[in-house]
Amino acid sequence: MTKLSLPELPPLQSINAREEGSPPKDDHANTSHNLSVSQEEFRGPSCDNSPKATPEDEGLPYVPIHSLYTLTKLSALRSPDNPEAQKGNAINDFIARGALSLADAESLFSLYRDRLDRYMYGIGCRYMTLEELRRKSPILSAATLTVAALHDPKADNIYGICSGEFRRLMERSMFERRIDRDYLRAMCVASYWLSDLSWMLSGYAIRRAAECNLHNSYNQAIKEQSQEAADCARLWYILYICDQHLATLYGRPSIVQEDSSIQGWEQFLKSPVATEEDKRLTGQVMLVSILRNIRELFGTDKGEPIPRFRRQLDEWYTRWMGELPEQWTQIGSFPRKGTILHYNFAQIHLYSHIFRGLSNDAPIPHYFLDCAMQAVNAATAIIDLIITDPDVAVGIVGMPSYMLSMTAFACMFLIKVAVKYGSDLIERQRVHDLTTNLVRQFRSLKAGKWHLANLMAGGLERMTATLATPDLGQVQPAVYNNAAEHVDMVMPGNQVYTDMDGDTFFDYDMSFGLSPVFRFDPSMFTVDASGQSLPTYPEADYGMRPPQ
């Protein structure tokens, strides 16, 4: 090799012995980080061995990167091969290593397979036994066990183990060229439920899915009636849904555009490969597409709601309430009740935009009052359904993080409106009762302590306390004049809610971005980012109070 001026060959390694979702094992694991980096740099990027191409070999390249690949043969420029044949029989995962007992793993797997996966339309788990799952995909195994541990109140002590293993496998596989469908499935599962990872994983998963041409699976599924292609198309739909959910929650641009697969969801639903669960899946594709259009219309500018969006939402609601059956396996009537929730989530997202153009002390223009009330009614309906409907209450443990985040949005929206606009749009007592009952509902759930509902309960309770005044029946000023009176509302410095800028969440431009929703400090009702007291303003009368 030296005579040929080529680098030394790495140690031989059986492909079948490789752990899926991880890079090849390094026999020199003790080598320093700097040494391993320099070795990689010395070897250079990997290239494919193939006959030299001539200009006559092919027609004109229609994708520019093909030209660069033809000239360089860089492996990184080529779509990864199908790694299905690379799977071996050896199981070498954190269960085999003793980090998690087999009994605990079996219990978590059963919870995910038999219940939780129904909330993701049955897409996340295609294996019936834990052994098969572990053998086929260690990273999908870690993802599903992490999500199950998040929802299991008896698994608090092992959630960190499962989560740590999933993160470890993700970190090690970040630059792995060869991935398979289960690798993408693992990222779909994590993006759907794990709110602390969803933003990062969703974007990465979309890029990797595009490498594997998942976005083209739709045509193949319909034309060839291929179940394998249909499974890929469903994964692409889930990634699209997660992408639009996150764009809505964070107020940021989405990644996936509306291509033929997104626009043609009805053709997919009519095809022979479609299942009953695909009704729910494509219903969500339709809904988030409407939300995407709303975001594109308003963007970051101030604007006015357009009536056609309300009509589209009404049509969506009418259609899917008629399409979905009353009962579903394992989750009862939750899909139909979830349709009601999603309808109200979309309404509050739409109508809350009318608050964005209002200055600190500006009243709501009379032509926006109906829209303002629509937003308030939608937020109220969300909380009321969760605290009164037993099917929805049970579904809290299982619903994706997007639905819980939008519930937090509804609560914060009502509290903001009650504080800023007094009783003109909604009575403080009503908001206080709704949020108090929701906290009680969350605290009664049988879920892991890291579940979003449990994380929300404490912060929501502190927020609700800001509505408690000596006489809840009387109209109070929209902003407290004396911040010192409420100094006991400030959270301890070691809590997770204290790292926000002062006006991030309660700015009087009514910014409804949700990214910091779980890190809110109630003391910020009375101070701005610089620590100065916020200006007070008289309570406006919109002519909506009952006559005296």
What is the pLDDT at residue 530? 37
**Mean pLDDT, range 77-93, rounded to an integer:** 60
Long-range contacts of 362-369 (CB under 8 A, 24+ apart): 363/540, 363/542, 364/421, 364/540, 364/542, 366/542, 366/543, 369/542, 369/544
Q: Which amino acid is at 362?
A: A
> 3-class secondary structure for 240-295?
HHHHHHHHHHHCCCCCCCCCHHHHCHHHHHHCCCCCCHHHHHHHHHHHHHHHHHHH
Q: Give dist(CA 272, CA 278) in Å, integer.
A: 11
Band the pLDDT of 47: cuts 50, 70, 90: low
What is the pLDDT at residue 469? 58
Q: Give dist(CA 403, CA 390) in Å, integer.
A: 17
> 3-class secondary structure for 304-366?
CCCHHHHHHHHHHHHHHHHHCCCCECCCECHHHHHHHHHHHHHHHHHHHHHHCCCCCCCCCCH
pLDDT digits (tens, 9 = 90+) for 11-22: 544 444 444 444
What is the pLDDT at residue 89? 62
pLDDT digits (tens, 9 = 90+) for 450-471: 999 999 999 999 998 888 754 4
Mean pLDDT of the chain, nearest integer: 75
**Mean pLDDT, range 426-434, rounded to an integer:** 93
Higher pLDDT pick, 355 / 378: 378
Q: Give dist(CA 290, CA 269) in Å, integer.
A: 18
Q: Give dist(CA 517, CA 13) in Å, integer.
A: 48
**Mean pLDDT, range 266-273, rounded to an integer:** 90
Q: Which amino acid is at 490?
A: V
Considering only CA atoms, which of 361, 378, 228 is closest in space to residue 309? 378
Q: Where are the domains of the chain?
A: 45-78
Band the pLDDT of 227: cuts 50, 70, 90: very high
**Res 7 pLDDT > 60:** no
Q: Give dist(CA 193, CA 211) in Å, integer.
A: 24
Q: Give dist(CA 344, CA 336) in Å, integer.
A: 13
